[in-house]
Structures are given as structure tokens and as C-alpha cells.
Structure 1
Amino acid sequence: ERYKLDGIITVVDAKHIIQHLDDEKPDDVENESVEQLAFADRIMLNKIDLVSDDKIKEVESRIKAINGFAPIYHTQNSLIDPKELINIGSFDLERTLEMDPEFLDTESEHEHDQRVTSTSAKFEGELNVNKLDRWIGELMRTKGEDLFRYKGVLAVKGMDVKFVFQGVHMLFGGEFSEEIGLWKEGEKRECRFVFIGRNLDHDALQEGLMECIAEDLRFNVGDKVYANIGEFTEGKILKCWDQGNPYRVEIQNDEKSNVWVPIDDDRYVKSEL
């Protein structure tokens, strides 16, 4: 209640950082320098007066290979304008929309022989948020220890507000909010995300997110279906893409209860028993 995490600042010794990045560690020991760079929201490249311009470029290249999204500030004696380091709001979902230009630069991949890398992507289209929840959950379960930082802004089918998420390891937060951002009329509905972590399979991450794209629906409003509410029960489609769900179904019982169908496949809804 008294404190909040505003952001993570990493101070780098320009003269010695490369030797620390190249330190060979036993298989069960992590390279702390690499991890501290991966987690950073702001990076202070200090002692630049002790190295040449070429060395600074080399160091920056190595840093960006690990974390291509944190701004780098050149400093001497760690002197910097405090406003560059406070009120970052890195862990506020509202601030996730205020992404640095580097975040939007999804054309380039940062590759390096280190195990810690970053990857990002942007594509036009809308997602099924229920598929996304399942994918993120499985990703955290299987790769949570390797996911240092991740965040994104996504377009969800059936929703007029943007879905904003971010996480650290197995801690994940995401929400819809009109205060965070409405899709404006004529605005391209697209999805953007970034992951920073260890041993990332860049292709698998992008493919996994693409598999969350909203599916073409099999049924129309008014169709008779059987919805899984613990057992398959007769119902009628009332609405398609309602609150991010493919269908809202009216169950044909005395209560005429309504249920949402999270994914349009035979596990949840089908045309016949």
C-alpha cells in the first residue's frame, strides 16, 4: 500500500561490462549481468569517459542484443537528470500504451549468441481472448522461469477497447479498460507484443500468438446448437462475438439462462449430439 515498483534501472560499467557478459558460468548458474540487463527499463551506460567511441558502440550493440527496448543513457559518475529515471510507470498497464519507438520497431530481430534475447512482432488482425488466456497460461507454466519481461497491446474480436498485458516470469496482468484505450473509428486493429527472456524460441512465440487469431464462426444468430455447460444442452445462438466470446447462447431450459461459448469448436458447442 505504501510502495509501488515504478521501473528497473540498471547501471552498466562501460569499461568492464563485456567481460562480465562473456563470463562462462556453470550450467546451473545464471549470468547476473545478462539478467540485470534483460530486466531493465532504463540503462545507464556509465564511465563513458574511460572508453573510446568505438567501444561505446560495441557495448551498446551487446546491450541491445539482450534488451533492445530499454533506453540507454550515457553518463559519467552516474550523473543524470532524475526525471529520466522516475515516474517510469513501467508496471502500470496504462503506460504500456505509451510505448517507446523501439517497441514499435518490429521489423528487426535482435540476435546474439547469448541465451538471453528479445523478440517483438506486429500484425494486423483480432484475437480470441479466451485462446490468448490459455496460451499465456501454458506459456507461463512451461517457460515462466525463462520469461523475464513481456508486454503487448492487442485487438480482441468483439471488444471496442484495447487489451493491454504485461508480465514478469509467472506474474501476469492484463485488462480491458476504456481509460487505457478505445479503438478509434478508422484505426487499424492490430496486435503488438514483445518478449525478453532466455532461450526464447522466437518463431514459436509468434506462431503461438497467431494461433490465437479469432476463428471464422460456424454458426449464425438463431441457429440451434448444443452448448457444453457441464453436459451438452440444447440452446440457441443469441449473438456472435459478444464481450470477446464467439457466441452468447440461450439455453433451452425453464430459466432461459445465457452462457458464453469461449472457443468455437466441438469441445464447447456443436450442431448435434
Structure 2
Amino acid sequence: MTDQQIPVTVLCGYLGSGKTTVLNHVLNNRQGLKVAVIVNDMSEINIDAGLVGAGANLSRTEEKLVEMSNGCICCTLRDDLLQEVRKLAKEGRFDYILIESTGISEPIPIAQTFTYEDTETGIDLRSLARLDCLVTVVDAYRFWHDFSCGETLLERGEASGEGDTRDVVDLLIDQIETCNVLLLNKCDLVLNEELDELEGVLRKLQPTAKIIRTQNGSIDPKEILNTGLFDFERVSTSAGWIKELQQEGHTPETEEYGISSFVYRRARPFHPERLAGFMGDWPEEVVRAKGLVWIAAKADLAASLSQAGSSIQFGPAGRWLASFSEEEQQEVFRSEPEILRRWDQVWGDRLNEIVFIGIDMNRPKVEKWLDRCLLTEEEMNLDWAVFHNPLPWISDEEYLAASMD
């Protein structure tokens, strides 16, 4: 970090969460900071920029409002963001850059803009700007409605394009699990008990971020400006499910409001058809689940399972280390010796390891349902390739091609 680096705060959050209101409040209480503002809007007309221009007391001679419209700064307008930040930083007349991202943007690609050299444009912002704080604004009033809606961004008319197939709930989870500060906004519209429960769930999903309750976007600017909080390594691994997996043993948690979590670990593969049946009748009390899955199938691959609300994503996630040659395994062991602590003499690193976070979860019942999906002793000795596999997977031809690479 150098004195020449201009600090940057990025506001993320789903549409309608109150990002613009937060931004205006901070700008009106910035205590003499000369601020450049970048407002990103998916529509052709940048409505949010108009609201910021009207609601914030920006000095036109000393400060600047940049509108980035008709695209998202985490994808289609990423090059434009790089160029705008470089331009603002080189002007040398601003103390700070505040960025309000569009409601459908994901935090990680935006953060990468400030932490890596862009190979396509050749722009490297690291010597010019530093990402100081990544903020996510959550609408306390509409959170559960959006979380459980089961809709895609395309169905809501909010997608970045026809190829944007993301579910609303997956976007919410991405924004919550990757931030330094989480602003729980519109708290005046929610009963205290419901608010406490929601905050408890958010704390499980994102255990490292600072959670601040707000009304009408009112917040002390010191909470999100010049904080020194951002660290890419920490923020990209701050999700609650990652923290659960890193624990050696399960730590008893507060059962207040029925919020709990556990890790399901079994050194035996799932029968693909029975697991598909479980996923088709997913327990409603499970809010979030994520982990690696071992499937009894011809393709000796790990699978990734990611669930949030009604959205379940499942698919191959690469080869198990145990399927590599002994020489390749030893090379990995030398660089990552901790793998050996959990290495099975027969099955190696093959393991089911899934984190479950929920409200009023009946852990024994969920574990019992999952245990029924595991192979029986008799099935363990059969040819796994004959099991019917309705799960999203790869063909035998693709598997053979991958094995030869």
C-alpha cells in the first residue's frame, strides 16, 4: 500500500435493497472528503445516478459523478470500470472513490478488478487504487420473499442478457457470503424478533463480516470508509460453509431462534438415484448447503453440491486425488501435507463432506435420510457403472477424454 493509492468502497446488494439511499447518506456526511462516485445501472438510462445527483451535495468543481449504464461492472462493463478508476486515480484530486454496483452484480469479479492485472487491457490498478471495503446491503423486509421466490433473474426481467440463467437466491447468497460489512437495511419495517432471526441466519452465512442494522440507509460513514478491512484472500473464503469445514470438530452453537449448522461427513459414496430423490424432496428447514459429494458412478469424479433456498446446483467438480498416479499424489502431499491426516488407505480423499445451515433443523433426521442414500455393503461390491444416474453428470465419452488429458 502506498500514499498514492486512492481508497475505494464498493456497495453491492440486490435491486431495491437501498444502496442508493446509503450512498446519498454517506455523501451528505462525508466530512470534507473529495469524493468521486461511480454509479452502475443495467438500464440504458442510469436512474440511480440521477437520484445520487439530486440527493447528494457534490461539488461540481471538486468532485465527480460517473455514470456507467446499460451493463454490469462485474462482466460487460468491467473494462470500462478499469479505465474509469485509472482515470480518476491519475487525476489526483480525489480523496476517495465510491462505487455503487448494479443490483445483479457479483462481488468477487469486482474485487478482482483491484487485486490483479487485467491481461486483456494491460491495466493494473494496484499501484493506483486499493479496495478498502466491500459492502453488501440487504433488504430486511423483502429478504425471505426474494430468497424463497424460486425465480431466475431472466424471469424477473433483471438478467444481464439472455444467457444469464442465475437464480435470484444464488445472487443473494453470492453478495452475502462475500463482503466485509453487511448492512441490514429497512429494519424499521420488520418486527424485532423476526429481525433477530434474520440476523442470526446472516451471521451463519457470513460469520466474519461486520453486520450493521440501518433504517433508511442511515450509517456513520466511518463504518465503510477508510476501514482497511478488505483482504482478497479473507473475503473470498469468508462464507459460513467454508468456516464450518475448516473446524476440526463441531463447535456447539447458539440455538437461539433455532438457527444451527452441522457438517455431514461419510467415507462412503452415494447411490446417484437415491441422492437425486433426496434432492427432489429437499428439507425445507435447510437454508444453505454446500460441499463435495462422492457419487458411485463410472466417472471417478468429485461432485459439487450448492443449495440456497429452492435453488440446487449439482455437477462434477474434478478428479479425486486418489485417482491420480502415485507420483502425482506424492507431489501434492509435499506441498499440502495436511491432506494425509484424512487420507483413507483404501479410498484416499474420496469423501462426502457437506455443510448444512438451517432453521429448526432436525439433524438426526437429515443425517438418517442422507445415510439411506449411501451404498449398502452389498452395493459397495457391485459394478458402480450399472447404477442409474439421473444427476447432472458427464458422458462416458467425456470422461474418457478427460482421463487421457
TM-score, scaled relative to structure 1: 0.52
Name the SS for the 1:210 alignment partner. helix
1:240 counterpart letter in structure 2 = D
1:182 counterpart letter in structure 2 = W
Task: Quote the residue 1:54 is aligned against.
Answer: none
After superposition, the C-alpha distances for 1:151-194 in whole angstroms (9 at most, x for unaligned) are 1211111331101111101101010143xx43424623211111
- Which residue among 212, 231, 236 is the counterpart of 1:88? 236
Name the SS for the 1:119 alignment partner. strand
The change in CA–CA distance for 1:166 and 1:106 in structure 2 (over 3 A counts) is farther
Q: Show the 5 A alignment for 1:29-48.
A: 31-40=197-206, 42-44=208-210
**CA distance in structure 2 between the aligned counterparts of 1:177 and 1:34, rounded to whole angstroms:** 31
**Alpha-carbon distance, 1:41 to partner:** 6.5
Ranges in structure 2 where 5+ consecutive residues have no aligned partner: 1-74, 77-104, 107-170, 184-190, 213-221, 324-344, 391-405
Task: Quote the residue 1:196 is aligned against.
Answer: 357
1:197 counterpart letter in structure 2 = G
**CA distance in structure 2 between the aligned counterparts of 1:80 and 1:240, rounded to whole angstroms:** 55
2:308 counterpart letter in structure 1 = V
Name the SS for the 2:383 alignment partner. strand
**CA distance in structure 1 between the aligned counterparts of 2:289 and 2:363, rounded to whole angstroms:** 13
TM-score, scaled relative to structure 2: 0.37
1:148 counterpart letter in structure 2 = V
The change in CA–CA distance for 1:85 and 1:147 in structure 2 (over 3 A counts) is farther
The change in CA–CA distance for 1:90 and 1:33 in structure 2 (over 3 A counts) is closer
Aligned length: 179
Task: Quote the residue 1:162 is aligned against.
Answer: 302
Matched, 1:137 2:298: no
After superposition, the C-alpha distances for 1:75-107 in whole angstroms (9 at most, x for unaligned) are x8342342348973889xxxx9xx746414363
**Alpha-carbon distance, 1:240 to partner:** 2.6
**CA distance in structure 1 between the aligned counterparts of 2:237 and 2:243, rounded to whole angstroms:** 16
Matched, 1:107 2:249: yes
- Which residue among 374, 383, 403 is the counterpart of 1:240? 383
Name the one with the larger helix percent. Answer: 2
Ranges in structure 1 where 5+ consecutive residues have no aligned partner: 14-21, 47-75, 221-238, 247-259, 263-273
Q: Show the 5 A alignment for 1:181-220.
A: 181-185=319-323, 187-217=348-378
Provide the identity percentage: 14
After superposition, the C-alpha distances for 1:194-218 in whole angstroms (9 at most, x for unaligned) are 1111111111111111111123557
Alpha-carbon contact 1:128-1:156 (below 8 Å) kept = yes
Name the SS for the 1:31 alignment partner. helix
The change in CA–CA distance for 1:216 and 1:169 in structure 2 (over 3 A counts) is same
**CA distance in structure 2 between the aligned counterparts of 1:151 and 1:197, rounded to whole angstroms:** 12
The change in CA–CA distance for 1:147 and 1:155 in structure 2 (over 3 A counts) is same
Q: Report the aligned-residue RMSD.
A: 4.0
**CA distance in structure 2 between the aligned counterparts of 1:155 and 1:33, rounded to whole angstroms:** 33
**CA distance in structure 1 between the aligned counterparts of 2:229 and 2:238, rounded to whole angstroms:** 18
The change in CA–CA distance for 1:85 and 1:169 in structure 2 (over 3 A counts) is farther
**CA distance in structure 1 between the aligned counterparts of 2:234 and 2:254, rounded to whole angstroms:** 30
Task: Quote the residue 1:121 is aligned against.
Answer: 264
